[in-house]
Amino acid sequence: MPRMETLDLRSAAKNFSWLLGDKIFRFVVTAGVNAVLARKLGTENWGTLAYTTSLLALFGFLAMLGIDQWVVAKLISNPKTRDRTLTAVAVIRLTGAAIAIGAALLWSGVSTNDRSLLLFGIWGVLGTALDFPDLYFQSQNKSKYSVFSKGIAFSIANALRIAGVFLGASLGFYVAIVAVEAIVTGSLQLFLLKTKTRERPNFSHIRNDTIQLAKQSWPLGLSSLLVLSYSKLDLILINSLGSPNETGIYAAGSKILEYLGVFPSIFSISILPLIFSVFRNHEAGSQKERERVSMAIGVANILAWIIPIAMYALAPWIITLLYGTAFREAVSILRTIVWIFPLTLFGVVRQGFLLLNEKLSICIALEALTLALLVGFNYLLIPKHGAQGSATALLLTSLMVNIAAIVVSKSVRNIAKFYIKSIWSCRRFRLTNIKRCVESLGIFKPH
């Protein structure tokens, strides 16, 4: 992992506020549009659409290669070579996009059931490949530019979805919108990189830069591939072992968890760079800074337990409000998988610390174990319990992997101790302590 420069907590907080605003906006709009779309399509067609988009996400990974965290770290630590790094990333991503398109065409030739829908959406990987300026904006804590470009593309895509509902569009139309959104996002990101920064393509050492970047980052890319595989595999397995109707029921419940999952991702983008900075460079991080980062993690963890408790109680009302009575079986799905939320947050902290200490082999081993357990549990439970079986498989897998990591790895045990200590730092819920916790995130400024 490249050496990190010290990052400012206030700039991270500003970055956090942009990301939080964007995610809240997306949460509200996506929930509303998906509710209308699911009611219009019904459980079976909604399941087919969810299955197809999951397949597209797996192919789209080849255009991203899962090296985002590594690239962000490299951009922060080596500012003089940012132009060369960005150029190498662009070449790697475009190569991956070409491979993804070829793989999707090959898959559509083998699986005739997926052919037409895949051909509508696979071209979106080109937009995914062009989205690399987002990594630069992350490294500079300037996510407002990414929020702007993604927000415009997101708005256009959802306007088209609503128009499709009124026009009675086919499933292919909705799949094509996924490609349109990705291409618009990538194009706007490139435009903003050109107009708002001084970074320009640098092909002077492109061959060596590309090979070096690929060699250095492949373990993290493999780890990310495993993560994406098991995050999308449940819908694919339900559709294969069960039915599109079961897939639709599961998608209704899991989509809500997906909406909530944006908060760990915000945490990862905004807080993990601070962890890298404060804890890796001992001379750069004072005890006070360490305590503030610890308290920030504690605040996030407390929220990670409050949210699933509330969601469990409100699940029947939420499912009925969003999707209608046709999806009422999704209540049990939501009540099961919502408990993954705090486990996911711990996973984010765990991975951050392992990367910080260059324990990539442990990361890869844990993700491989996750994938193996998830596939095994799904094959055992889906034939007997359908969508509920897959939800149970996901929860059991997440729990067992975290326990296994703590038992086997001393590094992870140290992470768990820090994690628990961070919760303890916010143990008193008096007004002054709540104020301190909020201040730790840099959002509230004391007078």
Give Cβ neighbours of residue 95 (< 8 Å, ≥ 6 apart): none
What is the structure's pLDDT at 163? 93
Give Cβ neighbours of residue 183 (< 8 Å, ≥ 6 apart): 123, 124, 126, 127, 130
The DSSP call for residue 325 is: G
Least confident of 30-39, 129-138, 152-161: 129-138
Structure-token pair, residue 206: 């492109």
* Integer Cα distance of 253 and 26 in angstroms: 17
pLDDT bin (cut points 50, 70, 90) of residue 132 is confident
Residues 346-361: pLDDT tens digits?
777 777 667 666 677 7
Domain ranges of the chain: 9-440
What is the structure's pLDDT at 348? 73
- For 267-332, strand residue ranges (E) read none
In degrees, rounded to 5, the angle at the alpha carbon of residue 351 between the alpha carbons of residues 407 and 134 is 170
Residues 351-407: pLDDT tens digits?
766 766 667 778 778 888 888 998 899 999 999 898 999 999 989 998 998 898 888
The DSSP annotation for 111-127 comes to -GGGHHHHHHHTTHHHH
| pLDDT at residue 196 greater than cutoff 60 | yes
pTM of the model as a whole: 0.74
What is the structure's pLDDT at 265? 60
Q: Which amino acid is at 380?
A: L
| pLDDT at residue 124 greater than cutoff 50 | yes
More confident residue, 230 or 306: 306
